[in-house]
Amino acid sequence: MSIKRLVVKVGSSLVTNHGQGLDRQAISNWASQIARLRSLGHEVVLVSSGAIAEGMQRLGWAQRPHSMHELQAAAAVGQMGLVEVYESCFREHGIRTAQILLTHADLADRQRYLNARSTLLTLMTLGVISVINENDTVVTDEIKFGDNDTLAALVTNLVEADWLVILTDTDGLYSADPRKNPDAVLISDASASDEGLKKMAGGTGSAIARGGMITKVVAAQRAARSGADTIIVSGKETDVLIRLASGESIGSRLHAGTTPLAARKQWLADHVQIAGRLSLDTGAAQALRVGGKSLLAIGVQMVSGAFERGAVVACIGPDGIEIARGLVNYSAAEARKIAGKPSGEIEAMLGYISEPELIHRDNLVLV
Cβ–Cβ < 8 Å for 295, 326: yes
Domain that holds residue 330: 274-366
Q: Are residues 241 and 175 in the same domain?
A: yes
Domain boundary among 265, 285, 316: 265
Q: Are residues 47 and 170 in the same domain?
A: yes
Q: Are strands 189-191 and 364-366 parallel, antiparallel or unpaired?
A: unpaired
Phi first, then psi: what are they for 333, rounded to 5°?
-60, -40
Q: Are residues 295 and 158 in the same domain?
A: no
pLDDT score of 367: 85
Q: In what order do the strands lie in the sheet with 312-316?
A: 300-305, 276-280, 312-316, 322-327, 364-366
Q: Are residues 198 and 314 in the same domain?
A: no
192 DSSP 8-state letter: T
Q: Are residues 344 and 201 in the same domain?
A: no
The 3-state DSSP class for residue 28 equals helix
The model's pTM: 0.81
Q: Are residues 41 and 73 in the same domain?
A: yes
Domain boundary among 238, 265, 292: 265
Helix (H) or strand (E) holding 9: strand 5-10
Q: Are residues 222 and 306 in the same domain?
A: no
Domain boundary among 239, 265, 291: 265
Task: Quote the crossing angle between the two packed helices 68-91 and 51-59, to the nearest 10°.
Answer: 110
Cβ–Cβ < 8 Å for 220, 187: no
Number of domains forming the structure of the chain = 2
Q: Are residues 148 and 257 in the same domain?
A: yes
Q: What averages of pLDDT result for each successive group of 10 residues across the chain (367 residues)?
A: 84 85 93 96 94 89 86 90 96 97 83 90 96 79 68 93 94 85 90 86 50 85 92 96 94 89 83 91 94 93 94 95 94 96 94 91 90
pLDDT score of 146: 60
pLDDT score of 139: 65
CATH number for the domain including 328?
A: 2.30.130.10
pLDDT score of 207: 42
Q: Give one DSSP letter per residue of 164-189, joined into a string.
A: EEEEESSSS-BSS-TTT-TT--B--E
pLDDT score of 336: 97
- Cα(149)–Cα(146) distance, integer angstroms: 9
Q: Are residues 149 and 47 in the same domain?
A: yes
Q: Are residues 307 and 170 in the same domain?
A: no
Q: Are residues 231 and 153 in the same domain?
A: yes
Give the torsion sign (CA, 138, 142, 146, 148).
Answer: negative
CATH number for the domain including 218?
A: 3.40.1160.10
Q: Are residues 215 and 304 in the same domain?
A: no
